[in-house]
Structures are given as C-alpha cells and as structure tokens.
Structure 1
Amino acid sequence: MSAEIDTIALQEERKSLDKKEIEDEEREKMLNIENKAIDEAQKIESDANDVPVTEEGREVKPKFIPIGGIKMPGFFTRSKSKEKCKEGDDGAQGELLEMPPVEEVVAKDNVEEKEVDTQKKSRFQSLKIRNPFSKKSEDSKDPDVNNSEETGQKRGLLNAIRLPLVNMIPRKLRGHSVGKDAEAGLDTAKTAELASMETLDDNKDAEKPEIKNDDGMETVKLDVEDKTDGNTDLNKEKLTLRERIRQQKLGLDDLAIMAGLLLFAIILIIIIAVNASAGYIVASPIKDGRYVDAVTSCGYVEGILEDGAFAFRGIPYARPPTEENRWKPAQPLNRLESCWNGTLKAHNATPPCLQIHGNGTTDGVEDCLTLDVITPHVRYDTPLPVIVLIGSESLVGGTPSKLRPSTRYARSKDVLFVRPNFRVGILGFLSSSTLSKTSPTLTSGNYGLSDIIVALEWVQLNIKHFGGDSKAVTIFGHRAGATLVTALLGYEKADKLFTRVWVSSGSGVYPGRDIQEYEEANNAYLDLIKCKDANCLRSSKIDDIITSVPDTWRSAAPDLPAVDEKPNKNHEWLTLDGFLLKSQLMSVLPNTKIPVVIGTTAHESASNKLLMRYSNWTTELVTKHINGSQIGKAGIVDEVIKRYNASYQGLAAMITDIRTVCPLSLLAKQRTGIAFYVVTQTSGENNIADVDSDITAILGRYEPKTPEQRRYVAAMQQLFYHYVWHGEVIQANTRNNNQVLDVGQDVLPIREYPNCDFWISKDFVPRYAHQD
C-alpha cells in the first residue's frame, strides 16, 4: 500500500516539475517578446528624431485604438507566475504584467506608412493590469498606480461603461470627423487623446484623469495634456458651443447648427403670430364645472352643461319684431343698441312665436326671434357639422313641434343643433297692399321666411365660436317647416346659407298666384281688425290681431278630398312676393345644385281627429267614408279598395299618398340627384308609421319595442347622420329619378312607390296635395 502511495506522490511531483518547466518557458518567451517590442519602439523613436517636422505636421493614417486603453483583469496574466510584483504599502503581493506603451504599439504598426511627430510627448503611460487571482487585499494600493499625486479625479464604474458606448456614436454627431482630423495633421495619438477626452474628461479641471472601480480594478492612467500646440481645431473640440461662440472660434458644423436653430425659431414665431392674429383658442374653459362662455357678434353668452353637452338657449339673432318692426322682414343685430352688456345668461329656453294650435288655443310671444344652440364642446380646432332644425305642424302654429334638439345626440353623434324661432300665422305671412306701400321692396308677406334667412346668416357668422363648421350646415325641416325649407331652395343666396337640405313631410306644391291676388284676398281681414293703413296695423293690440283671424284660414286635419273641395280657393300663407319667392318651386328646383333629401312616412296623414271619428273603424265604415269623398264622386271606390285594404291603416295610407307621398315623389323627380324615402316601419297600438316616425328615430325619441323597430332606428340614424357628415346617401341611386328608398328594418331601394302612378293618372296628384 505504501508503495502505491509513493508511486502516486512521485507522479504528482513529476507533473509539478513538468508544469513548472512549461510555465518558465512561456514566461521567458513573453519577456523576450516584451524586450523586443521595447527595442523596436526605441529604434523607431530614434529614427523619427532625425526626420524634420514641418509646421503643419505630417499626415498620419488614423488607426482604431481602444479608447482609454482600459485594463482588463486576467487577459495578459497567468494564474500562477514565478515572478513577483512590487510590494505595496501594506506588504501585500500582487502580480502585474508590464505592457508596452500604447504609443509604441501604434508607432510600430504605422512605421512603414507614416512618420510619428516627435514633438509630441507620449499620451499614455505604461499599461499595468492587476492579476485578479492575486492575494492582494482590496484595501491595498499599488504605489505606481494608486498613490500617484499626478492622477486626476477618480472615475466610477459608470464612466468605464460609457467608453464603448461613446465609441459607437458617429464622429460627425460628436462634432468632428476623420477627414477633418487627417486634414489638420493630427496623428494617431492625438486622435486617441480626443476620444479619451470626449468620454473620460468630464471634469475640465482634471488634468490627468483616471478610472477606478469600487472593486479595486483599475484602468489606464492617462497623462493628458491641455496643450494643443496652436491647433485651433483641437481647441474647438474641447470647448462647448457657447464658449466657441464667445471666443469666435466657430466651424462650418457650428454655423450649420446655428442656422438650423434660427430657421426653426423663425417658423415657430410665424405660427404663433398667425394663431395670435386669428384670435383662436383651443377651447373655452368650463366655469364652476357647469357653465361655459361663447362669443357672438353681439356679445358673450353663457351656456350650461346638460347630459354631456352644452346648451345655449334664447340667444337673440334679430331685432324684436314688435311695434315699428311688426310685419317687416327680420332685421339682424347689426347695431350696438340692439346688443347687450356683459355676458348674456343663455340658460333657459324662450317662448315660441305667437301661434294658434289646431284645437284653437294660442300661446307664445311676439318678441320671439331667438335661437338655441346645442353643442358637444365649445372649441375651435375640430369644427363639427351643424344641423338647423325648422319644425312646425302648420304655417299657423304648432312650432317647433317634436323637432327639438337633443343634448345626448349632439354628444353621441358629434354634431351641433341650432333651432331658431320664427314667426307663423298672421304675424308671419300677412300680405296686404297697405303694408307693401311702406316696404322698400314694395312687397309684403313671407316674414317668417325672412326670419329663417336671418337665423341662417347668424349661423354663418357665429357658429364657429360654438364649435361648428359653417361650411357643413344641413337645414332639416319637418312638416310646415319642411315646406319653408324647400321654398328657400329658390332663394338666390341659398348656397351661401346652407350646404345641404333634408325635408320630411313637407308640401309638394306652392302658391301660383301673384301678390296682387293675395292682397285683395286679405282685405277681408283688414275689415275685421278695422284698420285701413299700416300704422293702424302696427299699433293694434296683439289680442285683436290674433282673434280676428278667420277660422277658414286655420289649418285643418288631413282627410280624403271632399266633394266640394276647391284647392284654388283655399287660403295660402306663402306668397310669390317677387323678392324671396319669385316662382314656383317646380321650375326652380331643376336649376339648384344643393344636395337634397326628401322623405315622408307611409301614414303621415293619420291624425287623432280621423281616428276618433269612429270608435271602431270597420270595413263598412271605411267604405262609407271613401264613398263620401271625391273618390266616390270619381267612381273608383272598388279599384281603390283593391289597392288598399278597407281598414283604418289602409285609409290613412290612402290619404297620405294623395296629400303627401305622391306629390313629394313627383317633386323629387324634377331633378336628378335627389334621394326620396318613405318610412314603412310601423309602431304603436294602431300599427302605423305616423308623421313623426322618422324625426323621432333621428333625434333619439323613438321607443323601439321589437327587434324590427330597433333595426329601423339604427337604419334611419345611419341614413341621416351619414348624410350630415358626408353629404351623400349611400343606398340611393341618384341617377335613377324613379327610385324610392323603403325604410323599414333596413333601407331597401325599390323601383316605384306603389299607387302613385294611379293617383297621378286620375288627376288627384298633385291637385289635392296639401299646401302647408
């Protein structure tokens, strides 16, 4: 057993001796290489001293050198060296390997290509790398490295990390290029100095910077001189841009940077000046979490926050139509005395214009020319489409009916709603020779129409201050309001007031008699009110004016044409005054270019008065009612009943076709590009599509109770709001004048609406069309 142990020991000793011999041989080879490198460097230096140096120096080809010559532990040492290093102050032993100076290595590589400037001193001292396997404690110091008084400010690990990162940045972005260095005659050592200065010399006061890590690792001690030997380019690299400007040491790169900054500043100043001159602000601030201000041509108005949108109600848009302004066209607020001081509280709605309802009751005030604005936000940067609502059941009264703006839909659909009040009835449309004599245009009547025109002018002037787009105004009329809107298509300045038109359940025919006939027909009213001149009319009491209106001038519920009905003898409120209305719409519409959508509902003429005529509309009662009309007189009852069922729904559809649907269809065919729709989706106990079915769906007041009705609401809203935003109806073929859009659960194009050709052939259409 002992013999085996001796054998193992002998083998280990032999291996140790062999290993020791190998290490000695390697150490000897390395020392020979070091000595040979030193001799060659000294020889090159001595040869360089004999070469004369010009004033500008010699051109040296740049060579990439690791920036700073960082010492890396263990790369040039072995774990066990026979040679001891110098002892530190604490007596600890460390193993250091002496490397030739960096400059000597560079000179050796470049000696066959370029000469080295002998006037420059060495930029780097000898590189010493600590053996990481040494037993020297972390607290020990190497007197040759750590205790030198000439070392600069000590650097941390962060600077050591920065070195390779900075080297990745292109030289052009760091203020100099290789080409410039070569032209200036900078040698390789200078280039290394600049690189080290950029990355290591953050402190300008440090003359000989050194990097030291917290764990005892040390890097190259740089002996960097601040002298530049008159090289202005090198001085420029060491100075900041501000210092170079102060010392008037600027290069082409500096001038390019300054020119770019100057150009940017000029552009920024121009943009600010333009916005300041325009007076634009991004948005009006909300006060107390509830109120917001907007500016108008007559002063500031204050709106109130409601359901996520802002409501401005009761804003005056024209002078009060009272006293001397009674029975005169609307006059805009273009005088200072007509405006208000301070900020107008536009929180509450004002009463409508004075009117007479279908049941004979009256309400409203004479001083009524105000409007409401509903907007999602008060701002200037994103103007939204504007919808102007013109609603009235008839030209005598019933305004604004159900055509009221919705704050919820203004927010959800991103649109603005504007609803103006306008005069109706006797105060809005009285035509008389006594009034014409006092008018500059020698005409009278259509005052309510002039109110709408002035309201649209107000929108063009002020709506941008409420967040609206004056170039995207859709005027939306319903019933008598639709009649007034379509009448505006013949106004010569219509294209400057609105962008597109949507009318629902309006009239398909317009007055055809000249103004003299109207004035003579209205003389009977002057007798009732006991006035012979305009001064008497304008000074009369408002109650006398309203109560003197004949019953026959009031609007009646729609029904089948009566046997004794004479359409030409019915009272007409609109007048061909030669000023606002110059000719029949049938002759004007083909020449207009404004986009138009015309529509109605399948049972528009259904009314409570007709429904309550009998407690139960049986087949016999429906047939009896038809026989007692102009249809019975024409002897076409049986044919009509075959086309419509003998029920209340069939009777309502029959009246609607004669009075509204077919006249509007005929009107839409007068010009290509007009989309025409009919709502056929029914609802309610009577299972009809009443006169308000389309507008309640559009404004969000329709109450769907079945999946079919929910689909209808979505289809109607998509049809309308897409038109408001884009001015087109996707489903419509605008090249086909005969096409009708049947709006039920979906929007379905059909070739012709049933039965219209029949009523036209029987001379019921457009003869008996209603004329609201």
Structure 2
Amino acid sequence: MKSIYSFLLTPVIAFVLCAQANAQNNTSNRVKVANGTLEGTTESSGIRSFKGVPFATPPVGDLRWKEPQPAKNWTGIRKADHFGPRAMQRPIFSDMVFRSNGMSEDCLYLNVWTPAKSAKQKLPVLVYFYGGGFVGGDGSEGRYDGEAMARKGVVAVTLSYRLGVFGFMAHPELTKESLHHASGNYGLLDQNAALRWVKQNIAAFGGDPNKITIGGESAGSISVFAQMASPLSKKLIAGAIGESGAMIKPTFTPITLAEGEQRGLAFAEKVNAKTLAELRAMPAEKLLEATGQPGAFSVAGTIDGYFLPETPAAIFAAGKQAHVPLLMGWNSAESSYQGLMGGEAPTPENYKNKLKQLYGERADEVLKFYPGANQEEVIRSATALASDRFIAFSTWKWADFQTKTSTKPVYRYIFSHPRPAAVSQTDNPASSTMPKPMVGAAHATEIEYALGNLPYNKVYAWTKDDEQVSETMLSYFANFVKTGNPNGGNLPKWTPSTGNNPVYFMNIDVNSQLKPEQDRARYLFLEKEYSK
C-alpha cells in the first residue's frame, strides 16, 4: 500500500517543485520602477531582459507633436516580455528586420538587457539609438539586440523615438502653444525623455545612473551628437559612441525654426489641413502616406531655442557640449563610387568632368586630394569623395571639434572589414556570376560586429574572421562603456586624440591596428567648402 501512495504522490511533488521554481524565477524577473512593477524574462545565457517598457505617455491625440510627457503609473504586474510597437514609418530600408509589436504612433517604449543579479551592482549602462535617416528603424531590430553587450557586463538599453513628420514637423501653431516657444525635434526630445527615464530607473536593473554612455549609428550617431550638444541632455551622460554621422553640414544640416515652420505649413497644405487641429484629427496612416509623395516633407532638426539653442556645430566650437570621453568613427566605404559618378563609367575623363560639375574652377584642387589618373584610382577616390560628402566629413569634424574644445579623450576608428558573401551566393553554383562583396565596409555594416549580433543577420555567410572582428569591436565598445577607455586584455592598444597631440585611428579589421591620420588635408579642404 505504501508503494502505491508513493507512486501517486511522485508527480504531485514534482508539480509543486516546478511551480515553486517558476514562482521564484518570476520573482527574480520582477523589477520595481517609478511607474510600477515589471516582469521580464531570463534568456538561456542568464541575461534578464525587459521589453516594451513605456518611458513616456503615448504621443497620440492632442499629444501628437508635443514634447513627450511622463509615463503613467500602472497597478499590478506589467508583463515586459515582448517589444512594443515601432514608430510610424514607410517600408524604405530592406535591411531592417523588426521584432516589434506592429506599428503605431503609440511607440515610446524601451528595452533593457541586464546581467545584474540584484539592484546593488551599479553596472555601466549603454543607451543605443538606432539609425534609419530619422524616417525608419526601431529598437527591436536584431542587429541592436542588447544580450551580447550585457554578457560583457553592461546594462544595454534600446528604445523607439518618433520619426519623419511625426518626429520632426515644426509649425507656427505648434510654436505658439509650446511653453518653450519651440517646435520640431520631437524625436530628439523622445530620446532625451528616455535618457531621463533611464537616469531615474536604471538602478532597479542593477545599472549605475551616473555611468550612462549613449551610442548610435547613422541617424543614431547624429542623435548622439545632438544629445551631447543639447543643454537638456548633456549632463545626463558619462560617455558617447558615434558610428558614422553628426549634425554638421552637409549631413542632416539643421534648419532655423522659421524654415521648419514653413516646411510644416507646406506639408499641411499638401494634406489640405488649414489648422493644427485638422492635422491632429487626421489618421496617422493618412499623414504617413502623404509623406511618400515627392517633396512632401523633408526631415531636419530645428534650431528651436530649446532642445538646440543654436547650431550643434556652434555649441561644440564654443566648448559648450558634454565634456565626456568619445569613441567615434566611420566605415571605409560609406558610399560607393557610383554615389559620385552616377551611371558614368569610372574613367579618368568622366571623373574629371564630374568634378567640374560639382566644383567648377576648383576641380583641379579637388584632384590633388582625390586623384584619378587611372580607373583603379578613380574608383578609390570617387568612393572616398562620395563617402566624405555623404557622412564621413561630418563625423571627422565632430571628432575635430571634441579634440579641440574638450579635455576628454577622443578615440577614433575606421571600420574597414567588408561583409562576406551572402548565403545565397555560397549555396548557389552560379554564384560566380553574381555580384561580389563590396570592397571596403559599406554604410551600416559595422552594427552587427560592434554589438555582437552577427547571428541575427541570416543574409551573410559569416566566417571565423567575421567572428573575430566582432569580438574585437564588441570588446572595445564594452570596455569604453565601462571605463571611458576601450583598451583592455589582449586588444591592440588604442591611443586617443587629445589637444594638439598627433591623431591616430584604430583600423578595425581582422588584424586591427593603430594608424596615424593621413587624410587631414582633404578634410580641411572640405571644411572650407562647407563653411562658405
């Protein structure tokens, strides 16, 4: 009889033990923040994640085109096990793979990955802004996933912010109703609101609120630059990472508030809205569809007198930006030679004609810095010039500003490792006839390497070399977030730029190595061009 009871009780005991284990696990995944209690999940690596956490009130209805308002409190346990909706955006970029819960104006959510086992650990924090030209992107994209960074001992945060006309439209009525007499820059203000939320709440996740580094790529890098310049954000951050981009002419050049208001009026006319009230009453989908019309709305940051009291370049030139360690750089082929040549063959004659079209009587001077005596040289120089005109010059100038007007170190890099062939090419017997991988590192290709997220991109046939480059770059970034210095372990030593000392770049590739700056003369030439 005893054996029968034992037989019957065994599954009951197992069930109770399992339930207790699950209850304990749920408890360890619960975090109390200012607005209520969150319940996240634990990854197989042991990293805890909290997704879809509201950092502001949904910017809908009368809150459309207003600066973000504090998140509302909730009662009970809020599940934080899935990403929130991504911001309103058209399907522009084919390389964006979202894990978000649909698309909505209600998009102000953030995600946290933490290795901390308790709230007492005070680990360094990375808040990362996604790229996408301020018209696309989301913090849910796999290439921005924070788990790999968290495994390095960093609390990683991604977020969503308003894009396009929802994030950057200025308008006279908006300016009039604003307590700060400002309009536009709502996407940048969303980022600031997320930073303030992190400052207030990250300790609950085991993060140090006084050790927040901000980072981003392309539009995300431009955002880092803008947050460093803004008096609203500069005191919230302890370090900055910029990957390709700054709000410096010719990249995402900011405009005056008056010009921004005129753009807003022009957009309102295109959608037949006579008042701000009519604009706010329109469905978000209709506004988004309208932005797809040629010339309907052009995104730009505004010198609104509030988030940006003057141009960010002027702020940096005067030394009024955040004085924090900066790690920044760009890729070796941010744009292809076709970005300059268009459909013309890369011959010396065509190249010279293109320079004459662009620079007139100064074309011969341009040739001194970007020579083109033969096709190979034309391809190399046209790639360099197209990259500089697109985003490399603005990034260089950011580093130059910070080196001159701040005493904090600036760590510069060039990412030159090209992606491998696509999986489809390696699996296809006819791959020899398909396009080969681009020579050099194209725009945005470093993201998966820097954040340790190669496995999330299934397009490319990653190799051991790619894994090595990723480990190197991820380690540099993690070290920088922790200490303000990327050096450590067996990594090649990275010398920073400070004051009038010689400038060095870390060339990040399979064999990463420190190299002296060689292209300063051409950037000084471009500096004169863009200052006219």
What is aligned with 2:510?
745
Q: Structure 1 counterpart of 2:495, which letter?
A: A
Q: Give 2:67's match in structure 1, choosing from 300, 318, 329.
A: 329
What is aligned with 1:661?
392
- Contact 2:170–2:263, Cα closer than 8 Å, also in 1: no
What is aligned with 1:436?
175
Q: Give 1:351's match in structure 2, choosing from 85, 89, 94.
A: 85
Asked if residue 339 in structure 1 is aligned to residue 77 in structure 2, the reply is no
What is aligned with 2:401?
670
What is aligned with 1:303?
40
- 1:577-596 matches, within 5 Å, as 577-589=304-316, 590-592=319-321, 593-596=323-326
Secondary structure of 1:475 counterpart: strand
Partners in 1 of 2:212 and 2:401 — Cα distance? Answer: 24
Q: Deviations over 1:225-244 (max 9, x none)?
A: xxxxxxxxxxxxxxxxxxxx
Secondary structure of 1:367 counterpart: coil
Q: Deviations over 1:387-422 (max 9, x none)?
A: 1110121012233466522324422x1111111110
Partners in 2 of 1:762 and 1:453 — Cα distance? Answer: 32
Q: Give 1:719's match in structure 2, choosing from 458, 471, 476.
A: 476
What is aligned with 2:54?
316
- The Cα shift of 1:318 comes to 0.5
Partners in 1 of 2:61 and 2:462 — Cα distance? Answer: 51
- The Cα shift of 1:445 comes to 0.7
- Contact 1:738–1:752, Cα closer than 8 Å, also in 2: yes
- Contact 2:340–2:383, Cα closer than 8 Å, also in 1: no
- Contact 1:327–1:427, Cα closer than 8 Å, also in 2: yes
- The Cα shift of 1:748 comes to 3.3
TM-score by length of 1: 0.54
- The Cα shift of 1:316 comes to 0.8
- The Cα shift of 1:625 comes to 6.4
TM-score by length of 2: 0.77
Q: Structure 2 counterpart of 1:462, which letter?
A: N
Asked if residue 757 in structure 1 is aligned to residue 496 in structure 2, the reply is no
Q: Deviations over 1:723-771 (max 9, x none)?
A: 11111244223322633332233443333243x5235426685469xxx
Q: Deviations over 1:5-31 (max 9, x none)?
A: xxxxxxxxxxxxxxxxxxxxxxxxxxx
- Contact 2:149–2:156, Cα closer than 8 Å, also in 1: no
- The Cα shift of 1:499 comes to 1.2
Partners in 2 of 1:508 and 1:535 — Cα distance? Answer: 31
- The Cα shift of 1:351 comes to 2.0
Q: Structure 2 counterpart of 1:306, which letter?
A: E
Partners in 2 of 1:749 and 1:508 — Cα distance? Answer: 27
Partners in 2 of 1:663 and 1:611 — Cα distance? Answer: 17
- Contact 1:626–1:632, Cα closer than 8 Å, also in 2: no
Shift in CA distance, 738/611, structure 1 to aligned 2, threshold 3 Å = closer
What is aligned with 2:497?
734
- Contact 1:531–1:537, Cα closer than 8 Å, also in 2: yes
Partners in 1 of 2:463 and 2:108 — Cα distance? Answer: 41
Secondary structure of 1:591 counterpart: coil
Partners in 2 of 1:762 and 1:430 — Cα distance? Answer: 30
Asked if residue 548 in structure 1 is aligned to residue 290 in structure 2, the reply is yes
- Contact 1:435–1:533, Cα closer than 8 Å, also in 2: no
What is aligned with 1:54?
none
- The Cα shift of 1:692 comes to 2.8
Partners in 2 of 1:701 and 1:648 — Cα distance? Answer: 31
Matched pairs, number = 459
Shift in CA distance, 748/654, structure 1 to aligned 2, threshold 3 Å = same
Q: Deviations over 1:520-545 (max 9, x none)?
A: 23321111122222221211121221
Q: Deviations over 1:599-644 (max 9, x none)?
A: 111112249x969987xx9644x86467346447453486534489
- The Cα shift of 1:355 comes to 1.3
Q: Structure 1 counterpart of 2:517, which letter?
A: E
- Contact 2:144–2:448, Cα closer than 8 Å, also in 1: no
Asked if residue 635 in structure 1 is aligned to residue 375 in structure 2, the reply is no
Compare relative contact order (CA 8 Å, sep 6+) and give the higher one, 1 or 2: 2
Shift in CA distance, 321/661, structure 1 to aligned 2, threshold 3 Å = same
Partners in 2 of 1:652 and 1:554 — Cα distance? Answer: 30
What is aligned with 2:120?
381
Q: Deviations over 1:69-104 (max 9, x none)?
A: xxxxxxxxxxxxxxxxxxxxxxxxxxxxxxxxxxxx
Partners in 2 of 1:649 and 1:446 — Cα distance? Answer: 37
Asked if residue 473 in structure 1 is aligned to residue 237 in structure 2, the reply is no
What is aligned with 2:154?
415
Q: Structure 2 counterpart of 1:663, which letter?
A: S
Shift in CA distance, 760/508, structure 1 to aligned 2, threshold 3 Å = farther
Q: Give 2:439's match in structure 1, choosing from 684, 687, 691.
A: 687
Partners in 2 of 1:298 and 1:612 — Cα distance? Answer: 54
Q: Structure 2 counterpart of 1:761, which letter?
A: F
What is aligned with 1:456?
195
Shift in CA distance, 732/454, structure 1 to aligned 2, threshold 3 Å = same
What is aligned with 2:103?
364
Secondary structure of 1:355 counterpart: coil
Shift in CA distance, 505/626, structure 1 to aligned 2, threshold 3 Å = farther
Partners in 1 of 2:486 and 2:149 — Cα distance? Answer: 20
Partners in 2 of 1:359 and 1:683 — Cα distance? Answer: 18
Q: Structure 2 counterpart of 1:758, which letter?
A: R
Identical amino acids, percent of aligned pairs:
24
- Contact 1:429–1:447, Cα closer than 8 Å, also in 2: yes
- Contact 2:168–2:299, Cα closer than 8 Å, also in 1: no
Q: Give 1:697's match in structure 2, choosing from 434, 442, 449.
A: 449
Asked if residue 604 in structure 1 is aligned to residue 334 in structure 2, the reply is yes
Q: Structure 1 counterpart of 2:353, which letter?
A: N
Asked if residue 652 in structure 1 is aligned to residue 383 in structure 2, the reply is yes
Partners in 2 of 1:572 and 1:348 — Cα distance? Answer: 30
- Contact 1:372–1:419, Cα closer than 8 Å, also in 2: yes
Partners in 2 of 1:495 and 1:759 — Cα distance? Answer: 27
Partners in 2 of 1:359 and 1:744 — Cα distance? Answer: 26
State which drifts further: 295-304 or 663-672. 663-672
What is aligned with 1:528?
270
- The Cα shift of 1:443 comes to 1.4
Shift in CA distance, 328/734, structure 1 to aligned 2, threshold 3 Å = same
Secondary structure of 2:106 counterpart: coil
Structure 1, unmatched stretches of 5+, are 1-284, 556-570
Secondary structure of 2:307 counterpart: coil
Partners in 2 of 1:478 and 1:600 — Cα distance? Answer: 9
Partners in 2 of 1:539 and 1:493 — Cα distance? Answer: 30
Q: Structure 2 counterpart of 1:681, which letter?
A: H
- Contact 1:505–1:601, Cα closer than 8 Å, also in 2: yes
Q: Deviations over 1:87-135 (max 9, x none)?
A: xxxxxxxxxxxxxxxxxxxxxxxxxxxxxxxxxxxxxxxxxxxxxxxxx
- Contact 1:649–1:687, Cα closer than 8 Å, also in 2: no
- Contact 2:393–2:526, Cα closer than 8 Å, also in 1: no
Q: Deviations over 1:577-614 (max 9, x none)?
A: 0000011222222233122222111112249x969987
- Contact 1:704–1:710, Cα closer than 8 Å, also in 2: no
Q: Structure 1 counterpart of 2:444, which letter?
A: D
Partners in 1 of 2:198 and 2:504 — Cα distance? Answer: 34
- The Cα shift of 1:675 comes to 2.3
- Contact 2:504–2:516, Cα closer than 8 Å, also in 1: yes
Partners in 1 of 2:208 and 2:60 — Cα distance? Answer: 32
Q: Deviations over 1:28-69 (max 9, x none)?
A: xxxxxxxxxxxxxxxxxxxxxxxxxxxxxxxxxxxxxxxxxx
- The Cα shift of 1:288 comes to 6.3
- Contact 1:658–1:764, Cα closer than 8 Å, also in 2: no
Partners in 2 of 1:508 and 1:310 — Cα distance? Answer: 35
Q: Structure 1 counterpart of 2:56, which letter?
A: A
